[in-house]
Amino acid sequence: MYVAVKGGEAAISNAHQLLADRRRGDRSVPAMTIEQIVEQLGLAVDRVMSEGSLYDKELAALAFKQARGDMIEAIFLLRAYRTTLPRFGYSNPIDTGNMLIERRISATYKDLPGGQLLGPTFDYTHRLLDPELMGDGAVDEPQSREAETGHTPRVSEILDQEGLIEGDGELPDDHRTGDLTREPMEFPMTRDVRLQALSRGDEGFLLALGYSTQRGYARSHPFAGEIRIGEVEVEIDVPELGFAVILGRIRVTECQMINQFQGSAKQPPQFTRGYGLVFGQSERKAMAMSLVDRTLRATELGEDLTAPAQDEEFVISHSDNVQATGFVEHLKLPHYVDFQAELDLVRRMRGEFEARQNATGQQGDNLEAAE
């Protein structure tokens, strides 16, 4: 029950002023600029964009600064901001096959066209804290070597030549692409809507679910067929022009997870696939997303439902951290009246319980005396 409560205006206003002070911190330390956050905390900005489901580095950096580095608060701010903007339309689908690649690795083929490009990765670092970063030492320019020209095919295209892997994932021709920002969620979902939900889902939640599938809660035998990170063009059809215009580029991370599949009555033994696509550079989340995408296809592929990561309604209903934080955090709002009612109820039940204890206790005493 919610009851309007008056009072606290001054406390709230002062609390917000205190928040602003603590956010700024020691005034003798220079304030961070948005450019510094975009340039030097880029992966935090990427996470805010990905889970905020809004690609805009400056706004994501502003949200991160305003939230004092609290990721979910920053994501919440970005989601709230997007509701104030009109929707101009839908882009043409991006082509990740035609990406300006910054990193591309495959765990399934050593030698493949385009090669293995490590890019700016934490992999193979020793995870030792670097005291040099306590200061502002000069950083060397990166090495450079002449790039190969030509198409870098997806690993799935290579496997497809043998016919041992399923296709990319078609939906019926008359299927209208679902949009969960426009329509209420309904279960069961089609895979397009599920991917939209997973792409904006909480990284930690998807990571834990993906991990659970590896530990045996839904057997899935995955291989990271390919991970690629880089920039793709975004293009939109403009009706008043009668042709498509390129809006610019965005950075995305794509993961193609490949899973052994023993086949079913309907399908031959082959490799199946899980797909991950995430805004920015976010390999961990793209990998987790592709694991979860694959396990959520259990019904489609005729697999036994045995694990939480296969339960679409459970996974998708709890993957959005803005919804989750809203419901968990609402518990701190005043529930004075509800609690008074519960307090009364518990007192009454306790009274009845004690009365019963006393009655049976006395009976027991009487019995003992009689014996």
Partner 1 sequence: MKEATDQLRNQEPSDPDQAARQQAMAVLARASGDELSEAWDAWPDRPEVSPVRGPETGLVMVRGRIGGGGAPFNFGEATVTRATVKLSTGRIGHAYALGADKDKVRHAAIFDALWQDEATRPTVEERLVAPVRRRLGDDDARRRDESAATRVDFFTMVRGED
Site for partner 1 in 273-302 (CB under 8 A): 273, 275, 277, 279
Identify which of residues 88 and 327 has a Cβ nearer to partner 1 in the complex.
88
Q: Which helix (H) or strand (E) holds 221?
A: none
Site for partner 1 in 118-157 (CB under 8 A): 118-119, 142-148, 154, 156
Identify which of residues 59 and 287 has a Cβ nearer to partner 1 in the complex.
59
Tell which phi-psi region holds residue 117, choosing left (phi > 0), alpha (psi between -120 and 50) or beta.
beta
Q: Is 116 in the site for partner 1 (CB under 8 A)?
A: yes
Contact 307, 295 (CB under 8 A): yes
- C-beta contacts of 293-297 below 8 A and 24+ residues apart: 293/191, 293/194, 293/195, 293/198, 293/257, 294/213, 294/220, 294/222, 294/257, 294/259, 295/209, 295/213, 295/218, 295/220, 296/194, 297/191, 297/272
Q: Is 43 in the site for partner 1 (CB under 8 A)?
A: no
Angstrom distance (rounded) from CA 214 to CA 220: 7
Q: Which stretch binds partner 1 (CB under 8 A): 176-184, 211-219, 347-355, 356-364?
A: 176-184
Identify which of residues 237 and 344 has a Cβ nearer to partner 1 in the complex.
237
Sketch the per residue contact string, 191 through 210, with partner 1: x for CB under 8 A, - otherwise: xxx-xx--xx----------
Q: Is 55 in the site for partner 1 (CB under 8 A)?
A: yes
Q: Is 59 in the site for partner 1 (CB under 8 A)?
A: yes
Identify which of residues 28 and 144 has a Cβ nearer to partner 1 in the complex.
144
Contact 227, 104 (CB under 8 A): yes
Tokens of 20: 């602003």
Site for partner 1 in 67-96 (CB under 8 A): 82, 85-94, 96
Q: For the CB of residue 50, give the shortest distance to partner 1 in the complex, in Å.
A: 7
Preceding omega of 188 cis (within 30 degrees of 0) = yes
Contact 206, 287 (CB under 8 A): no
Q: Which stretch binds partner 1 (CB under 8 A): 115-123, 311-319, 324-332, 342-350?
A: 115-123
Indicate the SS3 state at residue 273.
strand
Length of the chain: 371
Site size for partner 1, by CB under 8 A? 82
Identify which of residues 121 and 212 has a Cβ nearer to partner 1 in the complex.
121
Q: For the CB of residue 289, give the shortest distance to partner 1 in the complex, in Å.
A: 11
Angstrom distance (rounded) from CA 365 to CA 359: 10
**Binding test (CB under 8 A) with partner 1, winner from 241, 265, 333, 370:** 241
Q: For the CB of residue 270, give the shortest distance to partner 1 in the complex, in Å.
A: 14
Site for partner 1 in 298-357 (CB under 8 A): none
Q: Which stretch binds partner 1 (CB under 8 A): 45-53, 209-217, 342-350, 354-362?
A: 45-53
Identify which of residues 34 and 308 has a Cβ nearer to partner 1 in the complex.
34
Phi, psi of 329 (to 5 degrees): -75, -15
Distance from the first to the final alpha carbon of the chain: 54
